[in-house]
């Protein structure tokens, strides 16, 4: 097959970008398989739920502050220091969760277009979120639901029926 008649899938399989389109010309894209489309929406849901989980945690941080102040036995640690530290921690968790949610949506979009590396990035992002939640114990019930949604979305991207949609790049 000549380069002029080559489909974008065939070009991707050879490690090339899609063929350039002329101005005003719509590029042909194959429709994503149903599991990949469902996976995209699950990634969107996972990102929204993850951000919502840490927004709720940020808004209800006073409960934790009160508990820590009540159980504090160190006279050098004032209630103001506890409140300030918890607020900074929860603000960082909130910013991180919104960032990860945005990355979920961005790379899920690229994966829905058939980009194999986007699927790999989503795998790494989800592993980071999972390890962060489990090892640092920063999870909430809602954030675990977001992680579960992400795991299901990731599994849908790796089922055998969608493998041809993510062609392996051949190295020269």
At 137 the pLDDT is: 86
pLDDT tens profile 49-74 = 999 999 999 999 999 999 999 999 99
Short-list 160, 152, 143, 163, CA closest to 101: 143
Model confidence band, residue 10 (pLDDT cutoffs 50, 70, 90): confident
Rounded CA-CA distance 79/72 in Å is 9
Task: Please give the share of the chain, as a percent, with pLDDT higher than 90.
Answer: 65
Q: Answer for the pair 13, 117: CB distance below 8 angstroms, yes or no.
A: no
Rounded CA-CA distance 58/159 in Å is 37
Q: Answer for the pair 93, 100: CB distance below 8 angstroms, yes or no.
A: no
Alpha carbon 96 to chain centroid distance? 11
In the predicted model, is pLDDT for residue 140 greater than 90? Answer: no
In the numeric block, the tokens 């050098």 are attached to 76
pTM: 0.80
Q: Answer for the pair 37, 112: CB distance below 8 angstroms, yes or no.
A: yes
Q: Quick one: 125 exposed, middle or buried, by C-beta within 10 A (0-12, 13-18, 19+)?
A: middle
pLDDT tens profile 99-109 = 999 999 999 99
Average pLDDT over residues 5-23: 70
């Amino acid at each position: 097959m000549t380069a002029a008649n080559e489909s974008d899938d065939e070009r991707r399989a050879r490690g090339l970008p899609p063929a350039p389109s002329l101005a005003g010309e719509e590029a042909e894209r194959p429709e994503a398989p149903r599991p990949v489309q469902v996976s995209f929406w699950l990634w969107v849901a996972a990102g929204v739920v993850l951000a919502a989980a840490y927004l709720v945690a940020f808004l209800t941080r006073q409960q934790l502050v009160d508990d820590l102040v009540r159980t504090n036995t160190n006279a050098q640690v004032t209630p103001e220091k506890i409140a300030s530290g918890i607020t900074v921690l929860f603000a960082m968790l909130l910013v991180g969760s919104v960032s990860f949610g945005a990355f979920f949506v961005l790379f899920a979009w690229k994966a829905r277009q058939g980009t194999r590396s986007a699927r790999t990035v989503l795998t790494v992002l989800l592993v980071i979120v999972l390890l962060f939640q489990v090892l640092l114990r920063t999870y909430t019930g809602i954030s675990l639901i977001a992680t579960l949604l992400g795991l299901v979305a990731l599994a849908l991207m790796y089922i055998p029926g969608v493998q041809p949609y993510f062609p392996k790049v051949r190295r020269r």
